[in-house]
A and B are shown apart, each in its own frame.
Chain A
Amino acid sequence: MKNNEKYIDQQGITIITPIDPAKDIKGLYSLLNKIGGDINNNSIIDFRQMKTIHYARWFIMDLAKDASGNLVPPNLVYSGNFDGSVEDHLEELLRVSGDGIKDIYSYCKGFPTADNASNQNIFEYWKAHVYNNQLFWPAIRGGTVEQIRGEGELRDAIQEFLNRQAAGGGFKDLDPAGIHGKIKDFIASKEEFKWALQARAKPSFGWKLDYYGRLVGRLLLVVILLPVILLFLLPVWWLILSRIFEKKDDKNRKDISRSKEFDALLRNEDQVFQNQLTIYGAIKKPYWYRLTTLKMGLWIFATNGKYRSDKGKLSGIETIHFARWTLFNKGKNVMFFSNYDGAWEIYLSEFIDRSAAAMNLTFGTTVGYPQVKFLLWKGAFDEQAFKTVVRNNQYPCQVWYSAYPYLTVKNILNNHQIRKGLDGSSEESTADWLKRF
């Protein structure tokens, strides 16, 4: 019930499964395209019946390479963002669309055969192919699908009420408190919105203990390591090494004029207000240096993202619903997934404007990235070169689902504040609250 009883966390999962070379990969492409081509009404995967999925995607990762140019055998990648536990999420996938799931995974190596495909076996297969998140960031912490949709409907109902009232002259001579009272009465009169008069459940003591305990753990780690780091002047050595390795990097500016063909990407872009980004990178050599840099960078951003950027903004960008980094191929490759509002061009422009240095520290460890200086500088500040490398490393997603394609992060945050103005937990004045309409 709209998150009223129990505080529920969001999670992200990445399952990378090898495609069976004996199977015709074209068949998998056409199956996935069939689902993606009619995402809400296809008969194979019934996303609309899945109550806990925010976003989900399947794509075929073909022709990926590591830094030495070795091909990564083709994989099927599933990435999902959902409410609650991993087990419940996988269970819901199978319960709602088990047959479709089995069709998709019949193309994958090692997937239980038909007579062996019990839920338990499938779970075990999936779990054996789960890749950890190096960084997972949800914009709306604790906001479940049901809550986000419900608060959207709440806002729409109030807007219609306001329009009706204005047309009937119902707000004449009313002050903000009077209008607020009328809105509240209207909502109270609607059985389907009763939940909105009650505040969302707060995290439990146990949840907080875990959440802040992990922060303390991270800080303790820094404190313990700090003397070692300082004693051996590690940051200085790290920067000196960065220059040595960076100078060996391909300058690559020749490529900035044109990215490879990406018609397949554009076919799916801008169909609704939200888009997804799926990028892979081959981590440059020497692996020990680059991978450590990447992991440290992501560790810092994950800490910052979890404990500081918890108001719907990641590095100052206000349009990301979920973002995630995952290492795969034994740490030789990395993947980035995000679900964002609006167009690719402004999204990338905002990255450059607000977090170019963060991009450099992380993506800067991958092949083809515009040359970085001292880990943080240059790189993404070269706008066209950066945008080109993103396009070049972007995978088309055959299947991409959004549970609320018409709600932006800003809309969702605003809707939640509207609800708080009704359930008594809002801290703003009634006059300010009314600005939200």
Chain B
Amino acid sequence: MNTMVELKDVQGIIIRGYGKMPFAAFLLVQINDPGGAKSWLKDIAGEITHAEADLDQLDTCMNIAFTNTGVIELGLKPEVMNTFSREFEEGMTTDHRRRILGDFGKSDPSTWDWGGPGDTKAIHMIVLCYGKTADALQQLINNQKSRWNGLELVRQLDTILLPDRKEHFGFRDGIAQPVIKDAGRDESGHPANNINPGEFLFGYKNEYDKYTVSPNVDPDMDPQNILHADQNFPDKKDLGRNGSMLVFRQLEQDVRKFWTTIDQAVKSQQVDNTSSTIEHLGAKMVGRWPSGAPLTKCPFEDDPSKRDFDNFGYAEKDYDGYKCPIGSHIRRTNPRDNFLRDSTGKPEKDIKNSEKFMKRFRIIRRGRAYGKPVSPNMDPHEVLRSSVEDTDRGLHFLCFNANIGRQFELIQQTWVNNPKFAGLYEDPDPIMGFPEIMGAGATTTFTEQAAPVRKKVTGIPQFVHVKGGAYFFMPGIRGIEFLASLP
């Protein structure tokens, strides 16, 4: 019998997407007075939405996470900070991490709206607010702000719910999510998609059958005995238990540039009669049709009835990428059974090994779009006709993982930005890869595997730029109570 996840101590957004709460805003907060911050935290610890809350009974949800400077501000000492992961302690913008994430050019942290070295105010905390209605959301925000003492709103990041849960390029988003085991979720899907809770939460076994190293404190720092013993180091107390690491990246999307590039590529392919529609080429780059239907299942045309279909692999029916190209966005951010292509010479063994290996590189995505869409109905042809400027819209990308280096950063570096992914040559992710890793001025190539010979789209520019971001620690509810109790 596995240990069940202590859902009442886990913040709700880690386990659930709050699909019933279409309205959301994220508040970036600076702590001016740690005492005031702690009294507010103590006050609202019981109001934080936990993972067992009955969302039908609630009009709003609220979750909280902290940056490294935030927990220092609340009183964590350097010896405790040393128990956090290097990624969290160093933050998102070190020189080496920029090379991992591809944050150069228009994504250079020095140009970020928030989270970069140019910030005049510190970001210590993020309050994630959700509401069933716009009014309920606004009330939640007003109510919380009115109780703030020594806290200052640095920036409010609003969100928008686009039709059919799409992102701005017009594709349904957030479909493939791992299922956290032992957390009361439906585990009847593909077993490769059921992931040990320790991949996302501290205090549980991960996919190496180990407890992910968690931030911890000496017992004498916890006189009220709020925290449990650390699973790795029993003489320490586990500050991380039931908590997770939140990666936040504000990604701006150049929607018109995206569809214009695709339109030109389709036109240039007309010469040899192999052209497709712009929807089809866009879908090949994404790996799913605008409705969400995967190309591996629906290679020729969109089928909205398959919009949430996720129980598929690549190795058996689409090994060569003729349906869903090998370098497409979803095939590289979640390679499923196809990572160890032709590795042992026995396809069945490769599939099994690949599925087992891939369990160690999953993230839970909780992003929301922001900014008005170029075209209200998300139709790419209308986008092409529009003259709206390509600014101020995109995705607030949020994801949860227990080990940022092995999960989020590995995906970003080894799969998204890597032009050599799966034997390719100059093909970073066509949607959001950073091509200049291949040298200044380099652009992305996208290979469409096809018979008798491949097609290529060359000179693809970047459509996605980072405008802000930070790594946050989202403690369990007890972890928040502990932070509020710090002297």
A residues bordering B, Cβ < 8 Å? 155, 159, 162-163, 166-172, 174-176, 179, 253-254, 256-258, 266-267, 269-271, 273, 313, 316, 318, 341-343, 345-346, 349, 352-353, 381-384, 406, 408, 410-411, 414, 431, 434-435, 437
Contact of A171 among B96, B414, B453 (CB under 8 A): B453
A393 to chain B, nearest CB (A): 17
CB nearest neighbor in A for B455? A166
Binds A, one of B1-9, B56-64, B368-376, B417-425: B417-425
Q: Which 4 A-B pairs have the closest CB atoms?
A: A266-B96, A383-B208, A410-B423, A169-B272
Binds A, one of B150-158, B243-251, B403-411: B403-411
Whether, in the assembled complex, B271 has its beta carbon less than 8 Å from a beta carbon of chain A, the answer is yes
Whether, in the assembled complex, B381 has its beta carbon less than 8 Å from a beta carbon of chain A, the answer is no
Return chain A residues, CB-CB under 8 Å to B451.
176, 431, 434
Whether, in the assembled complex, B487 has its beta carbon less than 8 Å from a beta carbon of chain A, the answer is no
Using known A-B contacts A256-B232, A267-B96, A345-B410, determine if residue A411 contacts B425 with beta carbons closer than 8 Å: yes
A384 close to B233 (CB less than 8 A): no
B378 to chain A, nearest CB (A): 31
Whether, in the assembled complex, B363 has its beta carbon less than 8 Å from a beta carbon of chain A, the answer is no
Return chain B residues, CB-CB under 8 Å to A176.
451-453
A168 close to B406 (CB less than 8 A): no
Bound-state Cα–Cα, A101 to B97, Å: 34
A343 close to B210 (CB less than 8 A): no
Contact of A270 among B100, B212, B406, B453 (CB under 8 A): B100
Bound-state Cα–Cα, A414 to B409, Å: 28
Bound-state Cα–Cα, A341 to B273, Å: 38
Using known A-B contacts A406-B438, A411-B425, A437-B453, determine if residue A254 contacts B233 with beta carbons closer than 8 Å: yes
B residues bordering A, Cβ < 8 Å? 82-83, 86, 94-96, 99-100, 208-210, 212-213, 232-233, 268-269, 271-274, 320, 343-344, 353, 357, 360-361, 403, 405-406, 409-410, 413-414, 418-420, 423, 425, 437-438, 449, 451-456, 458
B410 close to A384 (CB less than 8 A): no
A432 to chain B, nearest CB (A): 10
> Could you write out 8 A-B pairs with CB less than 8 Å apart?
A256-B213, A267-B95, A345-B405, A349-B357, A349-B360, A349-B406, A410-B423, A434-B454
Return chain B residues, CB-CB under 8 Å to A382.
208, 210
Bound-state Cα–Cα, A170 to B268, Å: 14
Bound-state Cα–Cα, A267 to B96, Å: 7
Bound-state Cα–Cα, A253 to B449, Å: 47
Using known A-B contacts A345-B410, A411-B420, determine if residue A269 contacts B453 with beta carbons closer than 8 Å: no
Contact of B82 among A258, A273, A384 (CB under 8 A): A258
Return chain A residues, CB-CB under 8 Å to B213.
256-257, 384
Bound-state Cα–Cα, A338 to B247, Å: 32
A253 close to B273 (CB less than 8 A): no
A135 to chain B, nearest CB (A): 22
A343 close to B413 (CB less than 8 A): yes
CB nearest neighbor in B for A168? B271
Contact of B423 among A159, A162, A270, A414 (CB under 8 A): A414
Return chain A residues, CB-CB under 8 Å to B208.
352, 381-383
Using known A-B contacts A257-B83, A270-B413, A382-B210, determine if residue A166 contacts B96 with beta carbons closer than 8 Å: no
Return chain A residues, CB-CB under 8 Å to B271.
166-169
Bound-state Cα–Cα, A349 to B453, Å: 34
B344 close to A316 (CB less than 8 A): yes
Return chain A residues, CB-CB under 8 Å to B100.
270, 343
B343 close to A318 (CB less than 8 A): yes
Return chain B residues, CB-CB under 8 Å to A257.
82-83, 213, 232-233
CB nearest neighbor in A for B206? A383
Return chain A residues, CB-CB under 8 Å to B425.
155, 411
Contact of A437 among B86, B344, B454, B458 (CB under 8 A): B454
CB nearest neighbor in A for B453? A434
Return chain B residues, CB-CB under 8 Å to A431.
451-452
Bound-state Cα–Cα, A196 to B82, Å: 56
Using known A-B contacts A345-B413, A414-B423, determine if residue A270 contacts B96 with beta carbons closer than 8 Å: yes
B326 to chain A, nearest CB (A): 11
CB nearest neighbor in A for B214? A257
Return chain B residues, CB-CB under 8 Å to A266.
94-96
A171 to chain B, nearest CB (A): 6
Bound-state Cα–Cα, A266 to B86, Å: 12
Return chain A residues, CB-CB under 8 Å to B83.
257-258
Return chain B residues, CB-CB under 8 Å to A269.
96, 99
